[in-house]
Amino acid sequence: MSKSGQVLIRLEGVTKVFYTDEVETHALSGVHLEIRAGEFVSIAGPSGCGKSTLLSILGLLDTCSEGAYLLNGKSVADLPASERSRIRNQEIGFIFQNFNLIGDLTVYENVELPLTYRKMPSAERKKFVNEALEKVGMAHRTSHYPSQLSGGQQQRVAVARALAGRPSVLLADEPTGNLDSKNGEAVMELLRNLHREGATICMVTHDVRYAKFAERNIHLFDGRIVEETVEAK
């Protein structure tokens, strides 16, 4: 975990080029970005502007073609796959649009799964899982399966899974995309409360209503940051 206020994420001149059939697609072009510990940042922009590519690079799911990425002051752009995987597991919590829960695992087992890869003792895993489920209001559903939950409840479990490992940053990719407006609002309130408790959150959204939950909004267009606004609180 990082001390509140220090620079947690720094991108310097990050460019991402995809090559297909001799066509170059510049998904990101010279992106400079800083996110400090304890911030809630939203990344918005039209479809195809590079939002998901940027989030994939932040989450070490993809690499940049040019530029530097520092996480907690350490360069992570050119690390071997095994080290990138370790950092993803320990430093980054992912929240996906389609929840990505495993259907034949219970709520408890879904939240616990990433912790098992850390070779964490079971008593410690239990403590982390129960605390995370308590935070998202799903402690009473530990033995249920995803199919027994509503979409809003499934996303709460997905948030708990992201939280359980106590990551440095939560990366949320359209976390309300598969939810109706009532459940979407509830999930955003949950994220806002987690932020108030000190969580660092970086969220991609196309929905202006939900971007306003963040304290800083970054607008992408054609792979570049074209505007940055701060929400009045």
Strands (E), the chain: 7-20, 23-36, 40-44, 66-71, 74-75, 92-95, 169-173, 201-204, 216-221, 224-230
**pLDDT tens per residue, range 7-23:** 999 999 999 999 888 88
7 in a structural domain: no
105 in a structural domain: yes
Domain residue limits at 186: 38-61+80-230
The total number of structural domains in the chain stands at 1
**pLDDT tens per residue, range 64-89:** 999 999 999 999 988 999 999 999 98
**For range 162-167, the mean pLDDT:** 92
Query: In the predicted model, is pLDDT for residue 186 greater than 90?
Result: yes
| pLDDT value at residue 47 | 85
Any residues with CB less than 8 A from the CB of 74 and at least 6 apart, and which?
none
pTM of the model: 0.91
Query: In the predicted model, is pLDDT for residue 233 greater than 80?
Result: no
Specify whether the CB–CB gap between 114 and 191 falls below 8 A.
Answer: no
168 in a structural domain: yes
Specify whether the CB–CB gap between 210 and 42 falls below 8 A.
Answer: yes
33 in a structural domain: no
Query: In the predicted model, is pLDDT for residue 148 greater than 90?
Result: yes
CATH number at residue 205: 3.40.50.300
Residues listed for the chain: 233
